[in-house]
């Protein structure tokens, strides 16, 4: 038995597999190092970093997770989530107009945004089905176009064709929506989800680790799969991670560091966890397998009788709806809606984040999204201060993070194109035609 | 006897844009029979299969006439999906496998076993049901066991040997419930000999289970090894149906190739005494890495003033030779032009050495489709020889008038039918496009002209004109021409010698008057083997 396990360990952790792991995850590994250096040189207090990071993660992660399904369906990184975000903002504006606040207001936003996002998603998907192979650039341009329409509706049609009399929303001359809208006035939407339930982060982590450990032990005994060496290793690895989390949490809780008081918005976290679960459960269904097949090879999917266009439409509609919801979660945390600006950078930043986590144009997982968001925001938090401390100039840190956000997207697209042409060449030479 | 026929195709006719490609074809496959469908490229095999599978290309071009019966019932197959439901399966020549999927997933593509769950019941949607991996794995296991494959069903397809991939394709087809007829489209084309033997054994095993097998190939030996009955197509017509016991490789070769040949090149002046004649090109151990048309080491001499034909089946490497000489694909070896060494992989160098090339890919490589005829004619010369240029110090400008005069002269000489030298080549017919290509090659004033597939995709009248033109260039200007073509008839009508390429090498060189069966055997790559065996 022990020998078996040793062999398995050797098989999975041989120099060559480790090397491949290092190459495959070079981007996240590099940025983990950069982030750690940034944290060190910024000299920011731990409680500030943890608290800010936690807020930013819960605020943004949902949007980033919305990117995964289109990647699986072979549509690449969906820059069209900007359009979903617009649907979310339309809903927020409506709910603001009705003056409904709190959790009911939040749920109403979700309810109103869903059908709008479905429609927008369908239209985006139709466009992408007409431009197969250029989905990313078409979704990006569709986003720019939609932004124009969005501005036209909100700046010109509101108050003229759409009769709205609302001093808080509409500009003083009665036409057009205001530039910034405070979500806490006239029905408070600010923190309408986050503040439902907040618990200290490390207590929650400790509890979660204990529950996970118990669940694993139960699972191990019920399924009795333990006979395979590889699954023992997997169990062992998971158990180690849980133990590590548990120990760290207890260490933090028993220390006198102010970090132990950092609070986690439980409901928001559960919503995000729900989306993670959705993303993995959908893959276990027939629909998920169809999405994967279409993503791998549209031609084979088609001749096997899968309705390729419809499947792609579903992927984009799902992504757009999640983007709308994600934007609502984002806005309720920020508390101020910049009517013409809040959605503009959403796609770029979300995509940069997921790429930092090690995703690519053709592969993305929940884990990569989570890791990516953590890295991306750590970089955002620490780089101005680190730049200031190292170079005596905060601006350099700013440059660096802008450079990272766009640079990583550029590199990912370049890598994808390169792999595609290399793959194409390989295919051509191995499969002799006719 | 007819009652046990799984598939009957009766009086099938099909035309593409008025051009008949299938004429009155009838075919019948019995349960448990292995039926071979034999024919050259373009004989109509693929079109017949497209009809059987209801491919969109058939229905978008006006359908076909005749009837298809399955188990003695007339069926209407409108899409590949219909064919699948009726129990007709196809093992594709290019594998329809997804490399990142496991074997099970590939076998079960879009036929996944699912179990209902809470959500799928709520939404009444089959698509939301959970995948039953265990059931799928056991089905896949069963199919693999039927074929005697020990490989684990959860292995990813990526990286498997090609022979395995073929078997996975077969496993997918036999996993489909109620499979009655299985079509193999040139299944051995990509396999090694050992793999091919395994495959044929597996096919025989399937037939023994009562599945009708339709086996498309042009390898004659395999046909005799595997098939019970053989149907031979040529030029869209049914030539013969033979029983295996009553035929031989030689007869099959003859039937596959044979047709009336009109030899246009009657002078015969070029035929005698090849030994003393000057060599225009010497090719030594040329290898060309052209995907799908790889050349694997060829030695060939081309004499001045001859028309040399290069023939063979598609994918054997005949196309690669000219492309290799022109430096369009990576090549190694030695090529001497008039005794001078040619630097390989340098297209400009090849052009400067006096070789002109008319590509087989007329619309892709051959023409600038959205440019005028005159520019198309001048462009290569302009680039290579700096002709048709006016110089102003550092700047150069195209000499528009010179280009036009030259183009108009060639349009007249070659009889290019167009509205004027400024017409876009995209708007021309295939034959006239080909003439523009030849005109451009002539503008280079080459010593040697390489022409690949000069008559592909052009109608019969235009074919004759193009061939006559080549013959005229050869006779009147003494131009050496190397013509590569899939159409043996064409080669035999104008060439002095014909080289047949098989599997990237030279199978043999024949005079145009040689017998049909010799050509047939060479194209099938059986000539050398038989030569050894029977001392022919």
**Is residue B505 helix, strand or coil?**
strand
The answer to whether residue B266 scores a pLDDT higher than 70 is no
Tens of pLDDT, residues B274-320: 556 788 888 999 998 887 788 888 898 888 888 999 988 877 888 88
CA distance A20 to chain B (A): 16
Measure the CA–CA gap between B236 and A145, rounded to whole angstroms.
Answer: 53
- Nearest by CB to residue A434, choosing from B100, B128, B314, is B314
Measure the CA–CA gap between A286 and B397, rounded to whole angstroms.
Answer: 63
In total, chain A counts a number of residues equal to: 434
Q: Report the Cα A345 to chain-centroid distance in Å.
A: 14
Measure the CA–CA gap between A185 and A72, rounded to whole angstroms.
Answer: 41
Weakest-pLDDT range from B25-39, B253-267, B495-509: B253-267
* B393 in reach of chain A (CB within 8 A): no
Measure the CA–CA gap between B305 and B310, rounded to whole angstroms.
Answer: 16
Is the CB of B315 less than 8 angstroms away from the CB of A434? yes
CB contacts of B314 in chain A (<8 Å) are 434
Neighbouring C-beta atoms of residue B301, cutoff 10 Å:
14
Residue B436's closest CA among B384, B358, B381, B370? Answer: B358
Q: What is the sign of the dihedral through the CA atoms of B335, B340, B341 and B346?
A: negative
- Beta-carbon contacts of A182 under 8 Å, excluding residues fewer than 6 positions away, are A335, A336
Residue A62's closest CA among A399, A332, A410? Answer: A332
Note which residues in 33-72 of chain B have CB less than 8 A from chain A.
41
Topology match between the domains B2-95+179-247 and B355-445: yes
What average pLDDT does chain B have? 83
Q: Structure tokens of A257?
A: 């560091």
Assign domain B262-349+447-536 to a CATH class: alpha beta
Binning pLDDT at 50, 70 and 90, where does residue B221 land? confident
**More confident call, B221 vs A321:** A321
The answer to whether residue B260 scores a pLDDT higher than 70 is no
Binning pLDDT at 50, 70 and 90, where does residue B454 land? confident
Classified by CATH at the fold level, domain B355-445 comes out as Rossmann fold (3.40.50)
Tens of pLDDT, residues B415-449: 888 888 888 888 887 778 888 888 888 888 888 89
CA distance A348 to chain B (A): 29
Which of A280, A287, A434 has the highest number of chain B CBs within 10 A, making it the mutation to test binding with B?
Answer: A434
Q: What's the confidence (pLDDT) of residue B272?
A: 47
Give the DSSP per-residue string, B10-59.
EEEEEEETTEEEEEEEEEEEETT-EEEEE--TTSSHHHHHHHHTT-HHHH
pTM: 0.74
Angle between helix A346-356 and A46-65 (nearest 10) = 110
HEC letters along A319-356: HHHHHHHHHHHHHHHHCEEECCCCCCCHHHHHHHHHHH
Neighbouring C-beta atoms of residue A7, cutoff 10 Å:
12
Does the domain spanning B2-95+179-247 belong to CATH 3.40.50.300? yes
Residue A171: exposed, middle, or buried by beta-carbon count in 10 A (0-12, 13-18, 19+)? middle
Q: Where are the domains positioned within chain B? A: 2-95+179-247, 98-156, 262-349+447-536, 355-445
Search chain B and give the residue with CA nearest A305: B81
Is the CB of A297 less than 8 angstroms away from the CB of B98? yes
Evaluate whether B281 touches B448 at the Cβ level (below 8 Å). yes
Where are the alpha helices (H) located in B108-260, listed in sequence order?
118-123, 133-146, 162-175, 193-208, 220-226, 249-257
Helices (H) and strands (E) in chain A, counts: 17, 4
Binning pLDDT at 50, 70 and 90, where does residue B533 land? very low
3-state helix, strand, coil in chain B (%, to 5): 40, 25, 35
CA distance B290 to chain A (A): 8
Beta strands per DSSP E along A110-207: 180-182, 198-200
CB contacts of B127 in chain A (<8 Å) are 285-287, 290
Q: Where are the domains positioned within chain A? A: 2-23+66-358
pLDDT by 10s per residue, chain A, length 434:
566 667 766 666 677 778 777 777 888 888 899 889 989 988 888 889 999 999 999 999 999 999 999 999 999 999 999 999 999 999 999 999 998 989 999 999 999 999 999 999 999 999 999 999 889 999 999 999 999 999 999 999 998 888 888 888 898 888 999 999 999 887 888 888 888 888 888 889 899 999 988 988 888 777 765 556 667 777 788 889 889 999 988 888 888 888 888 889 999 999 999 999 999 999 999 999 999 999 998 988 988 888 999 999 999 999 999 999 999 999 999 999 999 999 998 998 999 899 888 888 888 999 999 999 999 999 888 888 888 888 888 788 778 778 877 887 888 778 777 776 765 554 444 433 32
Starting at the edge strand that comes first in sequence, how are the strands of the sheet with B279-288 ordered?
B295-303, B279-288, B331-337, B340-341
Note which residues in 114-143 of chain B have CB less than 8 A from chain A.
114, 117, 120, 126-131
Q: Report the Cα A139 to chain-centroid distance in Å.
A: 17
């Amino acid at each position: 038995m022990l020998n078996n396990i040793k062999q398995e360990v050797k098989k999975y952790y041989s120099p060559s597999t480790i090397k491949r792991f290092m190459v495959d995850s070079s981007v996240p590994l590099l940025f983990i190092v950069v982030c750690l250096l940034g944290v060190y040189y910024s000299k920011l207090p731990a409680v500030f970093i943890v608290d800010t990071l936690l807020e930013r993660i819960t605020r943004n992660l949902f949007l980033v997770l919305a990117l995964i399904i289109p990647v699986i369906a072979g549509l690449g990184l969906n820059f069209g989530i900007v359009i979903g975000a617009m649907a979310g903002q339309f809903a927020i504006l409506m709910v603001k107009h009705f003056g409904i606040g709190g959790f009911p207001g939040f749920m109403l936003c979700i309810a109103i945004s869903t059908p709008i996002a479905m429609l927008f998603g369908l239209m985006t998907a139709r466009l992408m089905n007409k431009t197969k192979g250029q989905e990313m650039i078409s979704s990006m341009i569709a986003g720019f176009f939609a932004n124009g329409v969005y501005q036209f509706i909100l700046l010109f049609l509101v108050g003229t064709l759409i009769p709205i009399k609302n001093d808080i929303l509409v500009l003083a001359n009665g036409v057009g929506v205001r530039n910034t809208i405070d979500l806490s006035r006239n029905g408070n939407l600010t923190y309408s989800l986050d503040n439902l339930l907040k618990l200290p982060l490390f207590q929650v982590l400790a509890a979660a680790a204990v529950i996970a450990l118990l669940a694993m032990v139960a699972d191990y005994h019920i399924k009795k799969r333990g006979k395979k060496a590889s699954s023992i290793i997997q169990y062992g690895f998971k158990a180690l991670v849980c133990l590590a989390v548990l120990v760290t949490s207890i260490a933090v809780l028993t220390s006198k560091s102010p970090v132990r008081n950092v609070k986690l918005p439980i409901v928001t976290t559960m919503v995000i966890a729900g989306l993670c679960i959705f993303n993995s459960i959908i893959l276990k269904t027939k629909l998920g397998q169809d999405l994967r097949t279409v993503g791998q090879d549209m031609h084979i999917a088609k001749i096997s009788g899968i309705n390729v266009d419809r499947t792609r439409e579903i992927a984009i509609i799902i992504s757009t709806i999640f983007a709308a919801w994600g934007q609502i979660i984002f806005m309720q945390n920020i508390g101020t809606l910049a009517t013409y600006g809040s959605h503009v950078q959403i796609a770029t930043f979300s995509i940069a984040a997921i790429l930092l986590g090690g995703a690519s144009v053709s592969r993305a997982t929940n884990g990569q999204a989570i890791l990516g968001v953590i890295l991306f925001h750590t970089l955002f938090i620490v780089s101005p201060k680190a730049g200031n401390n190292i170079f005596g100039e905060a601006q350099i840190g700013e440059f660096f993070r802008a450079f990272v956000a766009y640079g990583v997207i550029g590199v990912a697209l370049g890598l994808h194109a390169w792999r595609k042409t290399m793959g194409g060449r390989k295919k051509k030479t191995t499969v002799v035609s006719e | 006897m007819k009652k046990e026929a799984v598939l009957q195709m009766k009086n099938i006719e099909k035309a593409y844009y008025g051009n008949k490609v299938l004429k009155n074809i009838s075919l019948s496959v019995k349960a448990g029979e292995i039926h071979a469908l034999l024919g050259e490229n373009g004989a109509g095999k693929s079109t017949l299969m497209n009809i059987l599978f209801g491919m969109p290309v058939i229905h978008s071009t006006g359908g076909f006439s005749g009837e298809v019966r399955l188990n003695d019932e007339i069926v209407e197959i409108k899409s590949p999906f219909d064919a699948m439901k009726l129990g007709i399966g196809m093992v594709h020549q290019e594998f329809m496998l997804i490399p990142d999927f496991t074997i099970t997933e590939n076998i079960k593509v879009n036929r996944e076993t699912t179990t209902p769950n809470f959500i799928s019941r709520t939404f009444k949607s089959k698509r939301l049901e959970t995948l039953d991996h265990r059931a799928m794995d056991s089905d896949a296991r069963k199919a693999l066991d039927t074929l005697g494959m020990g490989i684990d069903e959860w292995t990813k397809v990526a990286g498997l040997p090609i022979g395995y991939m073929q078997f996975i394709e077969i496993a997918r087809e036999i996993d489909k419930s109620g499979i009655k007829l299985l079509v193999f489209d040139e299944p051995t084309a990509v396999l090694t000999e050992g793999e091919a033997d395994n495959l044929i054994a597996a096919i025989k095993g399937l037939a023994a289970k009562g599945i009708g097998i339709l086996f498309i190939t042009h390898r004659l030996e395999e046909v005799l090894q595997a098939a019970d009955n053989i149907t031979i197509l040529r030029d869209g017509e049914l030539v013969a149906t033979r029983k295996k016991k009553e035929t031989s490789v030689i007869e099959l070769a003859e039937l596959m190739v044979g047709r009336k040949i009109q030899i246009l090149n009657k002078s015969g002046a070029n035929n005698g005494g090849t030994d003393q004649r000057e060599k225009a090109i010497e090719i030594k151990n040329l290898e060309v890495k052209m995907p799908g048309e790889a050349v694997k080491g060829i030695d060939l001499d081309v004499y001045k003033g001859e028309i040399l034909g290069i023939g063979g089946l598609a994918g054997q490497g005949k196309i690669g030779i000219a492309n290799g000489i022109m430096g369009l694909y990576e090549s190694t070896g030695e090529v001497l032009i008039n005794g001078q060494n040619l630097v390989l992989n340098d297209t400009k160098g090849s052009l400067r050495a006096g070789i002109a090339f008319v590509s087989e890919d007329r619309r892709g490589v051959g023409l600038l489709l959205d440019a005028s005829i005159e520019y198309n004619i001048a462009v290569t010369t302009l680039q290579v020889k700096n002709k048709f240029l006016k110089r102003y110090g550092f700047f150069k400008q195209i000499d528009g008038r010179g280009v036009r005069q030259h183009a108009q002269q060639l349009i007249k000489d070659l009889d290019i039918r167009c509205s004027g030298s400024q017409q876009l080549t995209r708007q021309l017919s295939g034959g006239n496009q080909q003439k523009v290509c030849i005109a451009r090659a002539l503008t280079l004033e080459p010593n040697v002209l390489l022409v690949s597939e000069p008559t592909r995709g052009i109608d019969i009248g235009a074919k004759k004109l193009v061939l006559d033109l080549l013959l005229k260039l050869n006779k009147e200007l003494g131009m050496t021409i190397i013509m590569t073509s899939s159409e043996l008839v064409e080669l035999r009508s104008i060439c002095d010698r014909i080289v047949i390429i098989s599997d990237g090498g030279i199978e043999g060189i024949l005079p145009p008057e040689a017998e049909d069966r010799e050509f047939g055997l060479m194209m099938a790559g059986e000539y050398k083997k038989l030569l050894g065996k029977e001392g022919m």
